[in-house]
Amino acid sequence: MSYNLKLKKIFQICGIVFLSVALAACGNSQSGNGNGNKPAGGSKTRTVTDVMGHKVKVPAHPKRVIATYLEDHLVALGVKPVAQWSVSNGIQEYLQDDLLKGVPAISYDLPYEQVQKFKPDLILIDDASMVEGGKYEQYSKIAPTFVVSKKQNSDWRKELLTVGKVLNKEAKAKQVLADYEKTAKKAKEQLAKNGKAPSAAAIWLVNNKFFIVSKNVSSGDVLYNDLGLKVPAVVNEISAKATSNWNAISLEKLTELDADYIFLINSDKTHATELDNALWKSIPAVKKHHVAEFSANTGWLYSGAIANKEMIRDVLKTIK
């Protein structure tokens, strides 16, 4: 598959921040509308207010949902969408063993004709930039359309709770979040041996170029904020000027990486020539054989309760 579009989209919104075990279909929770009022008993619609101020009448129990790049939340809440996010030929592979298996793909930018074909009864939009230029009005003609976040790289926790509220699964969303926090806390305590956690960095290799994650988004948020791992100086330096989740870094700069462990997401499995480079082999963590390698099909390039739990499992398997 081509990774150029994948790079573009993940740099924009992966952070993809951005939810890890699939959970069973939720119970019969009810959530309030945008003003905190409960819907009348037996009502077939509920009114919720999105981040752009739209008062949206949504089905009390949506059946045909499109929520591109929010699928981690959907799966965690036990909701199967009618279409799933894709870039070129790529989809979120780490979710395919759960509710997304067999769900047809839809382009990440939600072309009007494709959306219309799936006949959704609810459209969830990841962030406001996706409905610029009159797109919101177009989507609203197809189905009730709710914008979840004002900007890209929003807090995945807030996104999860918002999606849960719109889907009338608010209690389930809170349960998923509480389970995640419990998992992260336990892992953090386990990693802080003798009161001191090791340092680590996540690196993405794609098209023979390296990218390093920023410290407060995507997998960086999991490593440093949730698990309490030490932030290497190189990560701090790049994060200070970062404009994306994943930021280009030269192999020469990587030789300065003072990390005890490296988590390498390798999208170049069959032609990773850079990993044979003498400079790569000179990196301290590489010399110590402290490199854990994962494919791009895992949750490391994404964010959410499911993706993040997968990362935590990987970290605990690596750092013992």
Residue 272's pLDDT band, with cuts at 50, 70 and 90, is low
Domain-wise residue ranges, the chain: 4-179, 191-318
Judge if 4-179 and 191-318 fold alike in CATH terms.
yes
- Residue pair 238/215 in contact (Cβ under 8 Å)? The answer is no
- Residue pair 152/129 in contact (Cβ under 8 Å)? The answer is yes
For 59-80, write each residue's pLDDT tens digit: 999 999 999 999 999 999 999 9
For 11-34, write each residue's pLDDT tens digit: 444 433 333 333 333 333 333 343
Please determine, looking at this structure, whether the domain spanning 4-179 carries the CATH number 3.40.50.150: no
Global pTM reads: 0.85
Fold of 191-318: Rossmann fold (3.40.50)
